[in-house]
Amino acid sequence: MMSKRFVSELVAGDAVDDVFLLAERNVAHKKDGNPFLNVTLADRTGQVKGVVWDQVERILAAAAEGDFVHVRAQVGEYRGNLQLVVKDMAGVPADQVDAADFLAATTRDVTKMMDRLQEMTGRMQDPHLAALFALFWQDADFVSDFMRAPAAKMMHHAYIGGLLEHTLSMAVLAEMVGSHYSGVDRDMLLAGVILHDVGKLRELEYTSRIDYTDQGRLLSHIVIGLAMLDEKLKQVPDFPETKAHLLKHMLVSHHGERAFGSPEPPKTIEAVLLNYIDEIDSRVNSIREFVAKDTSEGNWTSYHRLLERHLYKK
Amino acid sequence: MMSKRFVSELVAGDAVDDVFLLAERNVAHKKDGNPFLNVTLADRTGQVKGVVWDQVERILAAAAEGDFVHVRAQVGEYRGNLQLVVKDMAGVPADQVDAADFLAATTRDVTKMMDRLQEMTGRMQDPHLAALFALFWQDADFVSDFMRAPAAKMMHHAYIGGLLEHTLSMAVLAEMVGSHYSGVDRDMLLAGVILHDVGKLRELEYTSRIDYTDQGRLLSHIVIGLAMLDEKLKQVPDFPETKAHLLKHMLVSHHGERAFGSPEPPKTIEAVLLNYIDEIDSRVNSIREFVAKDTSEGNWTSYHRLLERHLYKK
Amino acid sequence: MMSKRFVSELVAGDAVDDVFLLAERNVAHKKDGNPFLNVTLADRTGQVKGVVWDQVERILAAAAEGDFVHVRAQVGEYRGNLQLVVKDMAGVPADQVDAADFLAATTRDVTKMMDRLQEMTGRMQDPHLAALFALFWQDADFVSDFMRAPAAKMMHHAYIGGLLEHTLSMAVLAEMVGSHYSGVDRDMLLAGVILHDVGKLRELEYTSRIDYTDQGRLLSHIVIGLAMLDEKLKQVPDFPETKAHLLKHMLVSHHGERAFGSPEPPKTIEAVLLNYIDEIDSRVNSIREFVAKDTSEGNWTSYHRLLERHLYKK
Amino acid sequence: MMSKRFVSELVAGDAVDDVFLLAERNVAHKKDGNPFLNVTLADRTGQVKGVVWDQVERILAAAAEGDFVHVRAQVGEYRGNLQLVVKDMAGVPADQVDAADFLAATTRDVTKMMDRLQEMTGRMQDPHLAALFALFWQDADFVSDFMRAPAAKMMHHAYIGGLLEHTLSMAVLAEMVGSHYSGVDRDMLLAGVILHDVGKLRELEYTSRIDYTDQGRLLSHIVIGLAMLDEKLKQVPDFPETKAHLLKHMLVSHHGERAFGSPEPPKTIEAVLLNYIDEIDSRVNSIREFVAKDTSEGNWTSYHRLLERHLYKK
Amino acid sequence: MMSKRFVSELVAGDAVDDVFLLAERNVAHKKDGNPFLNVTLADRTGQVKGVVWDQVERILAAAAEGDFVHVRAQVGEYRGNLQLVVKDMAGVPADQVDAADFLAATTRDVTKMMDRLQEMTGRMQDPHLAALFALFWQDADFVSDFMRAPAAKMMHHAYIGGLLEHTLSMAVLAEMVGSHYSGVDRDMLLAGVILHDVGKLRELEYTSRIDYTDQGRLLSHIVIGLAMLDEKLKQVPDFPETKAHLLKHMLVSHHGERAFGSPEPPKTIEAVLLNYIDEIDSRVNSIREFVAKDTSEGNWTSYHRLLERHLYKK
Amino acid sequence: MMSKRFVSELVAGDAVDDVFLLAERNVAHKKDGNPFLNVTLADRTGQVKGVVWDQVERILAAAAEGDFVHVRAQVGEYRGNLQLVVKDMAGVPADQVDAADFLAATTRDVTKMMDRLQEMTGRMQDPHLAALFALFWQDADFVSDFMRAPAAKMMHHAYIGGLLEHTLSMAVLAEMVGSHYSGVDRDMLLAGVILHDVGKLRELEYTSRIDYTDQGRLLSHIVIGLAMLDEKLKQVPDFPETKAHLLKHMLVSHHGERAFGSPEPPKTIEAVLLNYIDEIDSRVNSIREFVAKDTSEGNWTSYHRLLERHLYKK
């Protein structure tokens, strides 16, 4: 594991000899017709542009976008910004870098969070749903991915472990709200909460950076999650068909409206509650993160483009 | 207190001698130029049309729209519907009828609900908010109206005591959700929950039927509620100005978006939570009532025009 | 197979002794507390209301909504409309009625249409897609359902065989449009066309009437179709993962926008073309049917609520 | 009163010794852990960035955002833009600067405009409205604020005295339009025009720059204006309740639609006219200002983002 | 000119021998296969359904939809509504009926209104616009149509002479508003006002009823009006091209937004004012007519579907 | 015809002596009060800023925005970007430059495309439409413009000859789709396709750059095209009025909805098909061009703002 100097620490004039993520790479051509590379190098603290003038073919072959790269370069300035003039660049296996240098992560203990979630499904009364979750938790790859996946690329819980943090928070809320109203099928609500975003395990990649996968962009996490659920459902003996439809409906409708990507809107009380609980937890987290990062003086954050308002900071 | 025969029980050929609400009244003219009246009579079970051929002036003077009236009539049919041919109609003081015959009411104990709410404000830590609610609860007219008011004309909790039922349910949710997230000002959230709809005490009338008042249609319950709050705020010694603005913001923004009638969207975490808690409780109640009244055979309700979907009944 | 008198032929005073579809059924109560039934009876030509005063329990047990029923009744009038006073009603097995009396059907030869479609997939160059369709066509239940299913409940091609008619018409268009532009993967486009609506085989029921199934309302035909496709994909040896994602994307995106129920919008040229070809064929068919049924004198149809315009009839 | 060199006149290499508005201020940290300041300095002609490397604590204490500051600095360049390296910065009392150096103002005579407005209310026939305005005009603080307030932060009449200019222009239009249609209550219309935006006196601050106040962002000028009106209404003896509701309705509905922040849409002819007169005057002013500032050659302005069009300049 | 008994006066049992407008006509078939007619007969006071059992072919040939017809019939009842059993029906030339029995008309003096308008164009300073209007006023057919045309089928000024009334009212407003703001080209504004809706002369037919023409539905009054204007523009010697474009822009943009049918939004100050003046005058007239026709007791009209509100009646 | 050095080839330090398009020009003032010019110079490969310090008046007089200019200058840098310090600048007649250096053009043979289109109209059965197109093709100016015009400024087919390329592609599609459905008037459809965008010949200018004309912005290509069609229609003897309305309707409605600038939506089957064929061809071309220009590594293009998605590149 190499030591690491961060993008935010670079100063013009420095010599660089360190590992970064090769976030972007474009081939351009010099006047003499020879190729050169424009690259973007990144880590947890930001990104910086660079150029590769020489040995382009060898370096092109050495690493692809999304790879970690060991970079030797000189820090200069171009048109008012820092620019690395890269002398050499070589791929570095992912297991030789500290992922935490490149991806932010939850500050909470993921093992404890996973234990808590499993303890909650362990108390389910419904035998079919209980059996279903037993299967999910026995799937080591699934559990391991679930302990790493972020909940989004940018909007909320956009960090390693974010999906688990978001899911557990929702599960706790679901127990509260579900018990507040009579006639709510609490096992169904809890099952919907835990599974609503499992498609994100494959919609997103989160090895060296958080980004969409091809299947993520082509299919959406709702559709991917439904296929993951279908796979497990087939292994539960005698899972009642109607219950399967109602459970899938939780995933199908959890965005609340067609305009937000749900093929059908919520039509059961459990699906209605799932949608609200998801909205509350996402909104609270996204506001908190926005306020935490805001650096404006005074009582107000800068303008939040998505929410179309300034937020009061107190 | 007179005994009462209900609209739903009328049969062509019957003679009627009973009290109804005069829901609507229009003057029309016969060919000979003389006036006659088209009336709509109502009670808790529905409404029926009627005509008054004779003694129109005397009857016009005897009662206005919204009054209770003692009606003597014959039940006939006109163009395929029941129609009362009214022989006589006289106003009846509201205190001589059993309001429960005309307006549906909550099935829950309003005194207990009010006690519970006051117990919750009694536990507030914030001295100014505590003082504010002490003032509200000392206002006997306010308390008495709050124990009667519906939460809406039609949408949800549209019955006597509905506002209190809705408010208390939200208050319980608020305690849960407010304690789930760190950094929430629970007293502010509770205060916002209790006051968010107080404008409905004057936006609606609910003596003999639930309908909008003139000021309700001209000003909206948000604006009315703010004035009611302002009145009390002035009586609390040294209520901090910023806290007053933040509390008013709870009322101002509780519909969540300008398009739903809020002059500003929620900009504090407490206002964001208030908006969601209000939506959850209204939506759950409105779906429950819709499902309860639905008479379709099978698993689905008839089409819900506002929600634009059929609902699954299980 | 019994002979059949149609709803459109009923006249007040007639005695009825015939088979209808029991389209709707509600239990109500007489003043004496005893139950009676309000029913709606239907066939291809329309529907008529009826009441069952006696032997309610026996008749309730005899047939459910959606069943065919042999009805003995007297035609009367109630509040200006025909009403059957039903004396007896008994279930009739679906195989004893002529479905054509109850459901409109395509006027085209379904076997020929299916042959044509299979001939088109037989010419596919792509070995995996060819193998996939070989599997589909070997599935006798699938083929048989595909030859019966309507394309919609009301909007377009809403008749037995309508889905096949719609699909074949789109396939022919797809060959034209796909060959007009260079670089279009014609096998992928054709595959998308044929599979885009297969979820309707389970989203709708079309034995005795066209209506949504429970899973149809809970999941949508997009989600159901994806699961049907997944099942077959698993049986094709070595179906490339990327190709599977691209094919599923055709189904996922065929409504063109999230607001119309597609979790993702079209992101490949083939998916873009599929969406337009679907829109053209649905729109042309729905306009044609609307114009054909229109009875207004003059050059214009009555107002088309969905399209929000009158149509010129020439 | 100090002399003033403007931001638009600064050149790299200059020494600066002048008064600016401290528009923004953020604390950052050097590598050695010591703090430094990023500041934005502004006047009527624009703004410029700066840094404070030394004596940060003292300078932090000397002035806050929104204060006027006397700045000693050297003009340099950083990443292609001018940057002041600030040596010293000290607060300057607002009464020692010429506000006109910092805020644009109406070119019209505010005293004459106020006289004209008061003369118009002096001719009111309605005794209660006349009494109400007498009270407003006797409130010296109100009058003085009304003579300074802008009508907006950016959209239209965004300069000192802009609200009065806008209000008077609307009042003149109101007299014309109100007399064109029979049955318009001209006093009510005039009253609505004059009071519709009074909430802006507190929604905005306009001492050293135009910006929203905390209560402005939390409550909106509609809600603030209603409270200001309420305060005065209570002092008019026997102001009829219905008239008060109708007058408040003018303020409540003057944005025309809920989506634009009005809790209720206009429901009286006077409220309908107020909304249109407001729109006309705002639109004409905003287009005029946009055209006046536009520097494109040819017949067209640059693209107007809010109106989503280019405007013809003639 | 025959005397007239109105639809509103018909009573079951009457014999009818009078002139009506044949508003709608559909051919249906009896069980024996013979045709019969369903007709709708109308006049200023309403409409009534009828059937023609006999001599269908002769009667079909005698009159078409939109014709005036002399009807001999018996008034009966069918399914709760009045129904004429028509014995004979014969076409009546339009010049033999009093159009006022069939179409409502303005209560104002159309000659005086036209004189006023021509007097206003007579004062134009712009020689080309003055010449253009001279041409329009010399076109007797144009003037005669302009004195009869309604401004709409239903929305506002929907009566004979309504377009002239609307146009004149707007012209007076235009003079006021145009003189209020400096730099407005008043002749251009007046020209736009007078011509903005001239396409309605051909978009609508208003001989026996107000309805859309074929070209009205195919082209819209904006497009028709532009062609009418083009025709006249070609006859004005040396009409400057730019001025022609600016004048046409007034027509093109007068609906204010693309969503309301304007191919381009207003881009000159005159076009902006025209749009507002049109909206004010249409809105005021439509509200007035709605309030005037409203028969509800109390302070509020029934619900106005288009404006989505109740209106206060005072 | 001068040789040409392109903007993309400029390097700081170069001396420039070449022809560019003067894309933009603004007069500013130096501290001494003397004017200087900021200019933007452009060609097919991009644009570069420049300043003119001396002889401003002479140079101002020498050329206007949109002119070609011969520039003598020194390439420098300002705030991180290249900047030309212009020593001299003189207008160059358009016929002395190679337009292809300044405007991209179709890669297809425009003469062959025009021949193909004329061959298609030559096969029309409808004598009036055939006569109409004979007139259009005899109009040498029209044909010559049609062979040069782009289809848009930016969206799709935004290059010389683009309109013809787009129109021909649509015509071929129209023949396919029109023959697929029975009852389509193919001549009418083809006529609509060819004429739908002819207004672009005057809506856009495309001599030295593609931009909107004044009449284009004031009237829209729909309105301009209708006037061009009207002119020709008047010259066809006995062109039936109804057919003229139906043909104009094709132009009027080809954007599909009012919100997209069509005064009326499509109301005939031919107009419906025209709208879809236009959408398909525009969308396919715009996606192709976007993908072709995209330089991102991997399977996806950068974000397409208008389509609001990334596109899959395969």
A219 contacts in chain C (CB < 8 Å): 245, 248-249, 252, 263-264
What band does D2 get if pLDDT is binned at 50, 70 and 90? Answer: very low
Contacts of B268 in chain A (CB under 8 A): 311-312, 314
Q: Is the pLDDT of residue A84 over 70?
A: yes
| A28 and A38 Cβ atoms separated by less than 8 Å | yes
Q: In terms of domains, do E30 and E146 share one?
A: no
Q: How confident is the model at residue C242, as a pLDDT?
A: 97
Residue C17 covered by a domain: yes
Higher pLDDT, C8 or D84: D84
Q: Determine, yes or no, domain membership for B273.
A: yes
Looking at per-residue confidence, does C314 or D196 come out higher?
D196
Average pLDDT, chain C: 91
Q: Given a cut of 60, is residue B276 above it in pLDDT?
A: yes
Hey, is C74 helix, strand or coil?
Answer: strand
pLDDT over threshold 50, residue E287: yes
C-alpha atoms less than 13 angstroms from C-alpha of E259 in its C-beta half-sphere: 0
E232 in the same domain as E133: yes
**Structure confidence at residue E33 as a pLDDT band (50, 70, 90):** low
The predicted pLDDT at position B31 comes to 59
DSSP string of E62-114, one letter each residue: H--TT-EEEEEEEEEEETTEEEEEEEEEEEE-GGGS-GGGTS-B-SS-HHHHH
Number of C–E residue contacts, CB under 8 Å: 23
**CATH for F43:** 2.40.50.140
Q: Do residues C32 and C168 share a domain?
A: no
Q: How many domains does chain B have?
A: 2
List of residues 6+ apart from C158 with CB closer than 8 A: C104, C150, C151, C152, C210, C289
Which CATH number do you get for residue D209? Answer: 1.10.3210
Q: What angle do CA C40, C45, C49 make, to 5 degrees?
A: 20
Question: Could you report the per-residue pLDDT of E78-101, keeping only the tens digit for each?
Answer: 766 788 999 999 999 988 888 788
- Counting CB pairs under 8 A, whether chains D and B reach 3 or more, is yes
Mean pLDDT over E39-64 rounds to 87
| Contact assessment for residue C159 and residue C100, using Cβ atoms and an 8 Å cutoff | no
Per-chain mean pLDDT for chain B: 91
Q: What is the pLDDT of residue B2?
A: 45
| D58 part of a folded domain | yes
For A148, A279, D175, the CA distances from A114, given in Å and listed in that order, are 11, 22, 71
Q: Do F297 and A80 touch (CB under 8 A)?
A: no
> Which of D98, D131, D164 is the endpoint of a domain?
D98
Q: Do A267 and C242 touch (CB under 8 A)?
A: no
**F272: domain range?**
103-293
| Burial track B204-242 (b if 16+ CB lie within 10 A, e otherwise) | bbbebbbbebbbbbbbbbbbbbbbbbeebbeebeebeee
Same domain, E52 and E139: no
Judge residue F205's burial from the number of C-beta atoms within 10 Å of its C-beta, 0-12 exposed, 13-18 middle, 19 or more buried.
middle
- The pLDDT confidence band at residue E207, using thresholds 50, 70 and 90, is confident
DSSP string, E248-289: HHHHHTTTSSGGGT-SS---SHHHHHHHHHHHHHHHHHHHHH
Cα distances (Å, whole numbers) of residue E283 to D134, D284, E155, E306, F129: 33, 20, 9, 11, 43
What are the tens digits of pLDDT across the range E40-52? 898 887 788 999 9
CB B118 within 8 A of CB B137: yes
For residue C83, the surrounding DSSP H or E stretch is strand C81-92
The 10s digit of each residue's pLDDT in E112-125 is 999 999 999 999 99
Inter-chain touch E64–C297, beta carbons under 8 Å: yes
Q: Is D57 exposed, middle or buried (0-12, 13-18, 19+ CB in 10 A)?
A: exposed
Q: Determine contact, residues E167/E278, Cβ cutoff 8 Å.
A: no
Distances (CA, A) of F184 to B164, C297, D92, F188, F243: 64, 22, 80, 8, 14
Is C49 or A188 the better-scoring residue by pLDDT?
A188
Q: Which residues of C touch A (CB under 8 A)?
A: 214-215, 217-220, 222-223, 226-227, 230, 242, 245-246, 248-249, 252, 258-264, 267
- Return the residue of C nearest to E31 by Cα: C9
The arithmetic mean of pLDDT across residues A69-84, rounded, is 84
Q: 3-state secondary structure string, F163-220?
A: HHHHHHHHHHHHHHHHHHCCCCCHHHHHHHHHHCCCCHHHHEECCCCCEECHHHHHHH
Phi, psi of B54 (to 5 degrees): -120, 160
Tell whether D302 is covered by a domain: no
Q: Report the range of poorest mean pLDDT among A80-84, C172-176, C230-234, F129-133.
A: A80-84
Does E63 map to a domain? yes
Distance from C-alpha of C120 to C-alpha of C131, rounded to nearest angstrom: 13
| ipTM of model | 0.86
For residues E282 and E240, membership in a common domain is answered with: yes
Q: In terms of domains, do A142 and A21 share one?
A: no
Q: Give the model's pLDDT for residue A23.
A: 85
Q: Is residue A298 part of a domain?
A: no
The DSSP string of C91-142 is: EE-GGGS-GGGTS-B-SS-HHHHHHHHHHHHHT---HHHHHHHHHHHH-HHH
Residues F148 and F243 in one domain: yes
- Cβ burial of A93 (10 Å; 0-12, 13-18, 19+) is exposed
Q: Do E128 and E186 fall within a single domain?
A: yes
Residues C72 and C118 in one domain: no
Cα B251 to Cα B270: distance, rounded to the nearest angstrom: 11
**Alpha-carbon distance B9 to B17, whole Å?**
13
Shortest CA gap C222–chain A (Å)? 8
A-chain CB neighbours of D23 within 8 Å are none
Q: Is E176 exposed, middle or buried (0-12, 13-18, 19+ CB in 10 A)?
A: middle
Any domain includes B300: no
Nearest to C197 by CA among C117, C156, C254, C137: C254
Which token pair is F21? Answer: 């398009």
> Contact at 8 Å (CB) between F199 and F294?
no
DSSP-derived letter for residue D185 is -
Question: C295 falls in which pLDDT band (50, 70, 90)?
Answer: confident
Is the separation of the CB atoms in B195 and B121 below 8 Å? no
pLDDT at F80: 61
DSSP type of residue F37 = E
Assess whether B87 and B152 both reside in one domain. no
Yes or no, beta carbons of E296 and B26 under 8 Å apart = yes
To which H or E segment does residue F241 belong?
Answer: helix F241-252
Q: Is residue B153 within 8 Å of B211, Cβ to Cβ?
A: yes
**CA of F266: which chain C residue's CA is closest?**
C311
pLDDT over threshold 90, residue B307: yes
Most distant CA pair in chain F, distance: 76
Picking from F25, F31, F218, the nearest residue to D297 by CB comes out as F25
Residue E182 CB contacts under 8 Å (≥ 6 apart), including other chains: none
Residue of F218, F206, F106 whose CA lies nearest to F153: F206
At residue D35, the pLDDT reads 83
Domain boundary among E47, E63, E98: E98
- Which segments within F45-201 are labelled E, that is strand? 46-52, 68-78, 81-92
Residues of B within 8 A of C37 (CB-CB) are: none
Judged against a pLDDT cut of 60, whether residue B215 lies above it is answered with: yes
Of C230, C250, C253, nearest to C178 by C-alpha is: C250
Distance from CA of B28 to the nearest CA of E (A): 10
pTM of the predicted model as reported, rounded to 2 decimal places: 0.89
**Residue B159 · residue B149 · CB < 8 Å:** no
Residue C46, phi then psi, degrees to nearest 5: 150, -165
Q: In terms of C-beta distances under 8 Å and separation of at least 24 residues, what long-range contacts does B245-248 make, across chains too?
A: B245/D214, B245/D215, B245/D218, B245/D219, B246/A312, B246/B188, B246/B270, B246/D218, B247/B129, B247/B188, B247/B191, B247/B192, B247/B195, B248/D218, B248/D219, B248/D223
For residue D313, is it within any domain?
no
Q: What pLDDT does residue D259 have?
A: 93
**pLDDT recorded at residue E78:** 72
Choose the final residue of a domain: F98, F120, F136: F98
One-character DSSP codes across D246-269: HHHHHHHTTTSSGGGT-SS---SH
- What residues are paired with E211 via a beta bridge? E205
CA dist C225 and D160 (Å) reads 64
Answer whether B touches F (≥3 Cβ pairs < 8 Å).
Answer: no
Give the model's pLDDT for residue A72. 94
| For residue A251, pLDDT beyond 90 | yes
Beta-carbon count within 10 A of A183 CB: 9
Enumerate the residues of chain F whose CB falls inside 8 A of the CB of residue C181.
Answer: 284
Nearest residue to C194 (alpha-carbon basis) of C236, C164, C224? C164
- Angstrom distance (rounded) from CA A24 to CA A37: 10
What integer is the mean pLDDT of A267-295?
A: 94
CA distances from F44 to C313, F92, F152, F203 (A): 49, 17, 16, 21
pLDDT at C308: 93
Nearest neighbour of F80 by CB, restricted to D80, D295, D298: D80
pLDDT score at E80? 61
Which of B124-138, B237-251, C135-149, D58-72 has the weakest average pLDDT?
D58-72
pLDDT at position C2 over 70:
no
**Does residue D3 surpass a pLDDT of 70?**
no
> Do C89 and C183 lie in a common domain?
no
pLDDT digits (tens, 9 = 90+) for D261-277: 999 999 999 999 999 99
- The parts of chain F modelled with pLDDT lower than 70 are 1-3, 31-33, 79-80
Residue located via tokens 């994806």: C226
- Rounded CA separation A21/A47 (Å): 9
Phi, psi of C103 (to 5 degrees): -130, 130
Task: Determine the Cα–Cα distance for residues F217 and D310; give it in Å rounded to an integer.
Answer: 8
Chain E adjacent subunits, 3+ CB pairs under 8 A: B, C, D, F
Does B242 lie in the same domain as B174? Answer: yes
